[in-house]
Amino acid sequence: FSAAPASVASAPQPYSPALVWMASLAAVVGVVVWAARRLFSSSCAPEVQPLAMAAITCAEVDKRFPPMLNDNALRAIRGQPVDRIPVWVMRQAGRYLPEYVEYTKDKEFFSRCQNPEVACHLTLQPFERYDLDAGIIFSDILVVPQAMGLDVKMIKGQGPVFTTPLRTLEQWLAVEEGLLARVGIAGVAPDQQAAKVIEKTPELAEALSYVYDAITLTRSKLNGRAPLIGFCGAPWTLFVYACEAKKTKTYTECSSLMYSQPDLVHRILKVMAHFCAQYLIRQVKAGAQMLQVFDSHANVLPPKQWAEFSLPYLTLVADIVKAECPDIPMIVLPKDAPFALELLVDSPYDMVSLDPTLDLGKSHRLMQKHNKGVQGNMSPTVMYAPTDKLKAMVAETLTEAFGDGSVLPRRYIANLGSGMNPDMDPENLGAFVDTIHAFGKR
């Protein structure tokens, strides 16, 4: 994985259906949009809590760092003209690079995230090969549950494994108690624990100071070459990982808990949302110039359930962040959940990262109507094509979406629909980046 301003507590405006670009989803989308509006207006929608820190602008943070030499990605997400289509890719610092494999061969995965110098080095590695328009800090979405007291390890051949699955109220109460003990609080009644933990999340988020140090160091060493992206996992995605405890194809445990104990799941998601928000705020103050929230398990949920168990907490995260950092650009990735695009048209996020099943041009035009943008969404499988074929497919995708390139699109950042795989050819990524930059050039 590496890697919202209307309040969710506000009454929504009546929904006017936008352009339906996938006929097979049209009926579902209409129902889901209605359901989402009902959810937002209901009393169960999470409320934004008072914030402990003073608001800060990006300009204030920028004063501490070298001036930008390439701000195309920032200009794109803000709807400003660009001189080339900006591009970066998820997992651009990863195992497809021989130099990454060599540098990390004696370093345990989470130790790489926890060492600011190592994380900085890995973030910058792809810039030695490619003319990228953004970097994303080397880290992992699961540092958040780690910081909340859950034990997770990265096991070779298995991926992330939680020592103890999170599946009962008693387990979650123990997590809350542990968090409160960390800030010197004990004896809180169980029904008041979650609220007290939320109150203390600004302090608790300091457990991830190594990420903030890595961001500050990396942005300084980027020296204005490109913006630096900070990120976190969506509350729903973090819950799925903690509940399932290991890779799964059936998502049995999280689905069972969601349907049988929805109040418990909402309680967990709300606390996680506040923790994630405070984590992101501190990334911005450390120097992150854009933020991305990865809902990597969005596809686990049917549309109606995604609107209940994921969307409100994605919105809560962004609302809290935007209240504190009002001009920070934010991207959300609802992985493999194409129905989510319509539900995000009036969210606090500035850009939606698309999966490859969506039509890029139609999705871009839809979001443009709402002063928002899109990122993506070329299929990662293009990386397995011969280089000449890859170049032709990338150029064709851009031409179909945006015309001949005589006018470069605003509010668009090129990316893959998901991240780089270990068996992909590094040379093909260079061709991918160069072809995107060449679009519209005469």
Residue numbers of the domain that contains 237: 61-72+95-351
The structural domain count of the chain equals: 1
Please report which helix (H) or strand (E) contains residue 153, including its range.
strand 152-155
* pLDDT in 10s for each residue of the chain, 442 residues: 333 333 333 333 333 444 334 434 444 444 444 444 434 333 344 554 434 457 999 999 999 999 999 999 999 999 999 999 999 999 999 999 999 999 999 999 999 999 999 999 999 999 999 999 999 999 999 999 999 999 999 998 899 999 999 999 999 999 999 999 999 999 999 999 999 999 999 999 999 999 999 999 999 999 999 999 999 999 999 999 999 999 999 999 999 999 999 999 999 999 999 999 999 999 999 999 999 999 999 999 999 999 999 999 999 999 999 999 999 999 999 999 999 999 999 999 999 999 999 999 999 999 999 999 999 999 999 999 999 999 999 999 999 999 999 999 999 999 999 999 999 999 999 999 999 999 987 6
b/e sequence 224-242, b meaning 16+ C-beta within 10 Å: ebbbbbbbbbbbbbbbbbb
Whether 152 maps to a domain, the answer reads yes
Beta-bridge partners for 415: 377
Q: Residue 42 falls within a domain, yes or no?
A: no
Task: Classify residue 17: in a domain, yes or no.
Answer: no
For the whole model, what pTM was predicted? 0.89
The pLDDT score that the predictor gives to residue 22 is: 40
The Cα 431–Cα 388 span in angstroms is 9
Show the tokens assigned to 284. Answer: 């911005």
Residue 272 belongs to a domain = yes
CATH number of the domain encompassing residue 172: 3.20.20.210
Return the pLDDT at 440.
87
**In-domain check, residue 382:** no
Distance of CA 170 to the CA centre of its chain: 30
Please give the Cα distance from 34 to 44 (Å, whole number): 16
pLDDT digits (tens, 9 = 90+) for 303-346: 999 999 999 999 999 999 999 999 999 999 999 999 999 999 99
Strand partners, 153: 161
| Residue 51 counted as domain residue | no
338 found inside a domain: yes
- 10 Å Cβ neighbour count for 148? 23
In a domain, 182, yes or no: yes
- In the Cβ-directed half-sphere of 326, how many Cα atoms lie within 13 Å? 7
- CA 295 vs. chain centroid, Å, equals 6
Beta bridge partners of 421: none
